[in-house]
Structures are given as C-alpha cells and as structure tokens.
Amino acid sequence: MNDFTKDMANALFNQDKINDLFRQKLQQAVNDLLESELTAFLGYNPYERDGWNTGNSRNGAYFRKVDTQFGEIEIQVPRDRNGMFHQHTL
C-alpha cells in the first residue's frame, strides 16, 4: 500500500479527515503542476546548469488562497525574473 491508500483507510470513518486529506493532496497537486508549468516554460529544471545565462530564471513565488469543495487551499504561483510566465492552470 502507498501512503495515500494508508491515509485514506485511516480517514474513512471521519468525514472531516477525508476532506482534510483531499484538501492537502489537491493543494500539493496544484502546486506541483504550477511548478511543472514554469519548468516547461523556462525549458530547464531547477538548479540545472542549462539555465545559467539564459536571460530568464525562477524568481520565487506569490501566494494565493483558493476555495474548493474540500476547503481553502494555499497555492504558490511561481514567477520568472522577466515576468513573462503566465500560468494556464488556474
């Protein structure tokens, strides 16, 4: 069994725990997707030498809260140094 399956089995008897589990997993999935979008936009993974002297690089993130049916999640929207990255996920 993987961790998600174990967590789900433990949470099955309590609706609040299930919602918390889904909220946490949704938050992680959205943040991973946004980071992957920036990686695809820039054309290199974080900390790779390929990104040196390309004229654009990662430049932190800003935070937003989004309401979902499982509760509020906090997403980290990554930025690039030139301000050209516009995410398409949200």
| Cβ-based neighbours of 14, under 8 Å, separated by 6 or more | none
Q: How many residues does the chain have?
A: 90
Q: Tens digit of pLDDT for each residue in 30-45?
A: 999 999 999 999 988 8
Pick the closest to residue 27 from 63, 55, 79, 81 (CA basis).
63
Task: From residue 40, give the alpha-carbon distance in Å to each of 22, 48, 49, 70, 86.
Answer: 27, 13, 16, 29, 12
Predicted TM-score (pTM) of the model is 0.81
Domain boundaries, the chain: 3-80
Confidence of residue 15 (pLDDT cuts 50, 70, 90): low
pLDDT at 1: 56
